[in-house]
Amino acid sequence: MQSMNFWRAYARNKGAVIGLLIMAVVVVLGLFAPLIYPESPWDMVNAPFLGPMEEGSLLGTDTLGRDIASGIAHGARVSLLIGLTSTAVALVIGVTLGALAGFFGGWVDDTLMRFTELFQTIPNFVLTVVLVAIFTPSQGSIVLAIAIVSWPPLARLARAEFMALRSREFVQAAITTGQSNATIIFREILPNSLSPLIVSSSLMVATAVLLESSLSFLGLGDPNAMSWGYMVGAARTVIRQAWWMSFFPGLAILLTVLALNLIGEGLNDALNPRVARKGKA
């Protein structure tokens, strides 16, 4: 019943449906990459500098003769994996700190928020680069670095939600019926603050995908994983001779980020119907 309403509200946003379709394609591509392109994307399978549709190569080859289509399929795995895991880590850190700050208030709130602001004052990308450089690039260190720079907005959001819900009468009713703090946090407040958190974390996946691409572009990606950002970075010197080498990975980044943003908007319409923009009915 409720899930039916959710889908109806979601589907009303045409862009969100398109976003979901693009995302589905990317996910399928990532999941089945080893089946579609069984060979490693690092293998030189063809002559270098082949344009799209030349000699049986769908999207052409790069400067060393590696297949670009294969790189994009395998790169989807990296982008999605890093996007999702780093957002999950950021959610855990952000929601925990935000919930504690919002629920307990007082000095707990002050301490945690000053700590959060410490992270917010440092430019995101610079901090990621520094962290990855310190930890040496690997999938784990990249996930951690992205999570460390992305949690502060989630903490602030969770804190605001918890503060607002804390004073609601149903939470006070839970206090007056002798519920423990843990019960109040997990059963009363958290379920009611999930919608905005889901919406902003769906947008955060998009930011994480972009951050990962930027890191790989600078050569700070995982050296063992083919990624979209790396492909664009490696091809930038020959962009005038061989546009396709940077164009297709770039397009993949663009479409994925766009799709995630559209999904985020659709979720917002479906989960927060009251704040959804009007005049769209």
Partner 1 sequence: MNAVAVSSSSAPSPVTAFPNRQPLLDVRGLSIALPPSADRELAVDALTFTLNPNEILCVVGESGSGKSMTAHAVMGLLPVPSVRVAAGALLFKGNNVLTMSEPEQRALRGGRIAMVFQEPMTALNPLMRVGDQVEESLRIHTDLDRTARKARVIELFAQVGLPNPAELVRSYPFRLSGGQRQRVMIALALACEPDVLIADEPTTALDVTTQKQILDLIRAIQAERQMGVMFITHDFGVVAEIAHRVAVMRHGKLVEIGTADEVLNRPSHPYTRQLIASVPHAMGDRPPFTPAGEPLLLAEGLHKTFHVGGGLFKKGKEVTAGKNISLTIHPGETVGLVGESGSGKSTLGRSVMGLMKPDSGRLLYKGTDLLSLDRRAFRPFRREIQMVFQDPYASLNPRRMVGEIIAQGPIAFGEAPAQAMARASELLTMVGLDASAAKRFPHEFSGGQRQRISIARALAMGPSLLIADEPVSALDVSVQAQVLALLDDIRHRLNLSMLFITHDLRVASRVCDTIAVMQRGSIVEMGPAAEVFGNPQHPYTQSLIDAIPGRGWEIPADLSHGEGVSA
Q: Identify which of residues 5 and 224 has a Cβ nearer to partner 1 in the complex.
A: 5
Per DSSP (E only), the strands in the chain are none
Q: What is the Cα–Cα distance from 82 to 84, expressed in whole angstroms?
A: 6
User: Rg of the Cα trace of the chain?
Assistant: 22
**Least Å from the CB of residue 80 to partner 1:** 30
Q: Pick between residue 80 and residue 189 the one whose CB is nearest to partner 1.
A: 189
Residues contacting 190, CB < 8 A, separation 6+:
99
In terms of CB distance, is 187 or 236 closer to partner 1?
Answer: 187
Separation between Cα atoms, residue 212 and residue 141, nearest integer Å: 11
Q: Residue 182 Cβ, how far from partner 1 at the closest point, in Å?
A: 11
Min dist CB 194 to partner 1, Å, is 9
Q: Which two tokens stand for residue 260?
A: 């995630």
For partner 1, the closer of residues 74 and 166 by Cβ is 166
- Closest CB to partner 1 among residues 35, 281: 281
CB of 155 to partner 1, least distance (A): 22
Reference 86, options 2, 171, 145, 5; nearest CA is: 145
Give the position of tokens 């999605």: 80
**Can you tell me the distance from the alpha carbon of 90 to that of 37, in angstroms, rounded to the nearest whole number?**
32
**What are the residues binding partner 1 (CB under 8 A)?**
168-170, 172-180, 183, 187-188, 191-192, 281
Query: How far is it, in rounded angstroms, from Cα 232 to Cα 100?
Result: 42
CB 195 to partner 1: min, Å: 11
